[in-house]
Chain A
Amino acid sequence: MTQTTSRRTSAENAPTASPVPLPKATKVLEVDDLHTHFVTRSGLRQKKTVKAVNGVSLNIAKGETLGLVGESGCGKSTLVRTILGLHKATSGTVRLDGQELTSLSRGQRRATSALMQVVFQDPYSSLDPRMTVHEIVAEPLRINRQYSKTRVAELLDQVGLSREMAARKAAEFSGGQRQRIGIARALALQPELLILDEPVSALDVSIQAQVINLLQDLQAELGLAYLFIAHDLSVVRHLSHRIAVMYAGQFVEEGDRDQVFDHPENDYTRALLAAVPVANPHLRVTTPRPRLNDDLAA
């Protein structure tokens, strides 16, 4: 037995503990039969309706992570943007902490936005490089008149950045540290739900694990609910309690993490799992992988 494979098997034999133990369910986010349709024109007269989100229901409890998996064009970004109120829902409801969001006015929505924050994919383009770390983390606090120096220091501590770093500009930091800054900013207003949009896919391999561990620690400490969007299935599996697989605007499979990964029921989920390259040269794919017909978007 080789060293790397023995490492892998010992992990497999270990009890399948959830990433973070689940507290009793109180639903933070409830989405019911959500539709977001766009009308596009091709040519002069023809109108075409694109059903980007076509009847999606989901819920996430306090302290729970729902992993959302799907390829580009499947509608996951539209779903997230609709939940955030950046697209208008065609029909269906979004409830945050029991409060219905889709019918609220802009101003009313703003008041609820503190409860739901986003961590973006690319820490290079999502932070103003000319602002200091302190300014970046303080900004949401200032806007909501909750600013205090100690709160900023506390947030930096929470994400593992030293206080001396607060005076430096964002441009001076590496990708992993920038992502920590982004997380500190997202935590500033004490949200209950974090939407994590591919938070580690722009990071180096050796740094990804650091950020994943940080997200797990924060969830355990603060009881945060995560909606975790990623195309890297191994990262999704590591962090999520439940997984939803999205294809062409709908959830084709949803369930407990291990069930979806070990006993996928849907053909698309199976194709998705089979496409992940296994990091073991002894397990090379000799039979052709199940091929999908063509690109989704082509």
Chain B
Amino acid sequence: MVEPILEVNNLVVEFDSPSGPVRAVDGVTFMVFPDEVFCLVGESGSGKSVTMLAVMGLLPPNARITEGEILFKGEDIRKMPIEQLNHIRGRELAMVFQDPMTSMNPVRRIGSQIAEMIRLHRRDLSKGQIAARVVELLEGVGVKDAAERARSYPHQWSGGMRQRAMIAMAMAHEPDLLIADEPTTALDVTIQAQVMNVLSDVRAKSQASMIMITHDMGLVAQVADRVVVMYSGRMVESGTVFDVFDHPRHPYTVGLLASVLTNGPAAERAYAIPGTPPTPADRPSGCAFNPRCSLAGRSDLCRSEAPLLIALGPTQSSACHFADEVSAWISSEEQLREVEREAANA
């Protein structure tokens, strides 16, 4: 069997708050295998970004991992001495952040920022070799006249170009795992397409695995191999991209998919999940989704007991007490909307 690159087991992350510790991530478990794209989907407050910060060892001072383990190539990141962690970060494990403007130093030339990243782990290279590598990396992400443009400052580049520079920096040491936190959210659609193309090109060359954090179901459908859906700090569903899009087995996933406004002719009204996602501090008891759920939110079980993530097939799991009823529920909802549509047309 293939060894996973990253294995996260029962991860719990707590934040300090005036009213005591708050669980932002509550028992997250997943594996990432070589050469795959793994998408972590969820809304704000779902814990998806905190999970990734924990993996990178970049949690803010008021947060800590209280349970679980994070194994990178079989070694627990939490037990590593800081020197070893620094050795891995940027070399074997790299990250691309959402906003390329705030993640670069505004008063240093782009080329010199990339050079710094190269020098960090390759002390043996000469100045000339580093400069050549900077140009090579920038050309690898589709920047033309790279030698000249490396002398620009971040503000002279557009958002899409800056994100290319961030990707070039992340790929400097050909990492085995690239973590991309909403890499295209701040960008226009055509630029988003270019950046995604660049990402898939550099991945194809280096065979790196990628964890992508996003809330864009369109992007997930286009790039993911496997998907984990998070809600209020917990995993609610996981599976291959086809499992999740073709046969969602959690009402929240169903709602997310239905909320996607299709590019086909507009339906009468947009489908909206009622209510708002809870903050980790006021997570409802039982299943966190129960107040917004129309499948079985009525059930006492949903209100009293948090459902466990249970395997439903070889690749798919769902954390819903009524996972077996989800397909039947979708068809009945479908019929209901059909009736409403006919009534509206009559």
Tell me the chain B residues, 242-257 only, with Cβ under 8 Å from chain A: 242, 245-248, 255-257
Choose one: B193, B330, B334, B341; the contact of A289 (CB below 8 Å). B193
Pair B262/A281 contact, Cβ less than 8 Å: no
A289 to chain B, nearest CB (A): 5
> Which of B20-28, B90-98, B156-164 is found at the contact surface with chain A?
B156-164
Decide yes or no whether B194 CB sits under 8 A from chain A.
yes
> Which of A41-49, A54-62, A143-151, A203-211 is found at the contact surface with chain B?
A203-211
Decide yes or no whether A298 CB sits under 8 A from chain B.
yes
> What residue of chain B has the Cβ atom nearest to residue A217's Cβ?
B269
Pair A271/B265 contact, Cβ less than 8 Å: no
Pair B271/A277 contact, Cβ less than 8 Å: no
Decide yes or no whether B285 CB sits under 8 A from chain A.
no
Pair A209/B189 contact, Cβ less than 8 Å: no
> Which of B106-114, B166-174, B217-225, B313-321 is found at the contact surface with chain A?
B217-225
Bound complex: CA A4 to CA B247 (Å): 8
Bound complex: CA A147 to CA B215 (Å): 41
Known contacts A10-B334, A174-B276, A258-B265; A275 and B189 CB within 8 A of each other: yes
Decide yes or no whether B144 CB sits under 8 A from chain A.
yes
Choose one: A4, A12, A72, A276; the contact of B245 (CB below 8 Å). A4
Known contacts A15-B345, A276-B189, A278-B218; A206 and B273 CB within 8 A of each other: yes
Pair A278/B189 contact, Cβ less than 8 Å: no
Residues from chain A with a CB closer than 8 A to the CB of B257 are 4, 279
Tell me the chain A residues, 261-298 only, with Cβ under 8 Å from chain B: 261, 271-285, 288-289, 291-292, 294-298
Residues from chain B with a CB closer than 8 A to the CB of A213 are 269-270, 272
Bound complex: CA A278 to CA B221 (Å): 7
Known contacts A207-B276, A209-B271, A213-B270; A237 and B263 CB within 8 A of each other: yes
Pair B221/A275 contact, Cβ less than 8 Å: no
Decide yes or no whether B103 CB sits under 8 A from chain A.
no
Bound complex: CA A271 to CA B191 (Å): 11
Give the total of A residues in contact with B, Cβ under 8 Å: 66
Choose one: A2, A205, A261, A296; the contact of B246 (CB below 8 Å). A2
Pair A204/B263 contact, Cβ less than 8 Å: no
Pair A210/B266 contact, Cβ less than 8 Å: no
Residues from chain A with a CB closer than 8 A to the CB of B61 are none
Residues from chain A with a CB closer than 8 A to the CB of B221 are 277-281, 283-284
Contact bitstring A220-245, B, C-beta under 8 A = 1, else 0: 00000000000111110110000000
Bound complex: CA A71 to CA B345 (Å): 37
Residues from chain A with a CB closer than 8 A to the CB of B262 are 8, 11-12, 234, 279
Known contacts A238-B261, A281-B242; A3 and B272 CB within 8 A of each other: no
Pair B144/A238 contact, Cβ less than 8 Å: no
Known contacts A206-B277, A213-B269, A278-B221; A233 and B259 CB within 8 A of each other: no
Contact bitstring A197-219, B, C-beta under 8 A = 1, else 0: 00000001111111011001000
Residues from chain B with a CB closer than 8 A to the CB of A175 are 44
Pair A277/B218 contact, Cβ less than 8 Å: yes
Decide yes or no whether A77 CB sits under 8 A from chain B.
no
Contact bitstring B40-83, A, C-beta under 8 A = 1, else 0: 00011000000000000000000000000000000000000000
Choose one: A8, A210, A233, A282; the contact of B189 (CB below 8 Å). A233
Decide yes or no whether A7 CB sits under 8 A from chain B.
yes
| A72, A213, A232, A281 pick with most chain B CB within 10 angstroms | A281
Choose one: A204, A234, A291; the contact of B215 (CB below 8 Å). A204
Residues from chain A with a CB closer than 8 A to the CB of B258 are 7
> What residue of chain B has the Cβ atom nearest to residue A240's Cβ?
B266
Pair B265/A277 contact, Cβ less than 8 Å: no
- 7 A-B pairs with CB atoms under 8 Å apart are A72-B158, A177-B276, A209-B270, A275-B189, A277-B193, A278-B263, A285-B222
- 5 closest A-B pairs by CB: A277-B218, A209-B272, A209-B270, A297-B158, A71-B188
- Known interface pairs A12-B265, A208-B270, A276-B189; 17 further A-B residue pairs with C-beta atoms within 8 A, sorted by A's residue number: A2-B247, A7-B334, A11-B262, A14-B265, A174-B277, A204-B215, A206-B43, A207-B272, A209-B259, A210-B272, A212-B272, A234-B263, A273-B263, A275-B189, A276-B263, A278-B263, A294-B144
Which residues of A are interface residues toward B (Cβ below 8 A)? 2-8, 10-12, 14-17, 19, 71-73, 174-177, 204-210, 212-213, 216, 231-235, 237-238, 257-258, 261, 271-285, 288-289, 291-292, 294-298
